[in-house]
Structure 1
């Protein structure tokens, strides 16, 4: 079976973004090159993990090669614009891989479609760790510079932290109406 590949070797834009209000947001990763736009749906945790690992990879590149092309970490993103329209979900992200390609001095991000796993495919997680191929119907490949990756990390971290504040007791997100805290045994006092 052929795999559909959405490839962006030098995208004009690669960002994480959301649609909806906090608590009901849908997260997307989106790349644009000219008139072509590809958007893939993902979870908030995936955006957070992708940003964390991108930062780690870039720090490791600096440590190993003292690459001058890798800027230091930043907390302020240059690109704060909303996602480009139309937002059409190509697929939902399952597996993600990140690598540094020293031949082109770029970070390579591969996002694979979420494939329903059978119980017989329990060895798939081990296969990814051993460097074997991931089975997926679609893959989204983006190659970005180190400076662009640092900007992506800053935007993704701001996006993740802009959600609902956590409960100080159970750390679950608070709804505008409040919530029933499991640490309080479900008891909630009236506010007034």
Structure 2
């Protein structure tokens, strides 16, 4: 069984990827489980640059195939902010309910048609032999009016998916994996990995 490192400390992401790659003969472990403690500086200008940097640096330390993702929320009314700064918006240690409050305040008088937003996920696989795989996907929605739902993580409670008539944080993990930006990007990556492993 091939061990693949996912360059994240986020347990929600590890759970998501293990669910999606469950039928492949791979064991996905976090950086923590692999004993890697570096903090990669995400100074890229795009989701792809950031995920490439994380995947390559962790792969160079571990010598193993490494996956990394960079994902975030783009809000059209805010010129696609917070974008690549989603996790660091208002500071990395700022709790998400505080981030929601600021975003919802900025959008308080904005009509539904102008509240369009998307989650973006870019996943990179870095192989020790120099091969690189990239998959990118999105899920479209709108920014809701108040945080709703208990599931998921990050900005899920303020992201409303019109076709499901639910907030992302109201979805079960199966429902979320089926439509989420990361779920779609991971399934694309899974197909790419099947050809390479």
Question: When the two structures are superposed, what TM-score results if normalisation uses the length of structure 1?
Answer: 0.22
Greater C-alpha radius of gyration: 1
Q: Higher relative contact order at CA 8 Å, sep ≥6: structure 1 or structure 2?
A: 1
Pick the structure with more helix per residue.
2
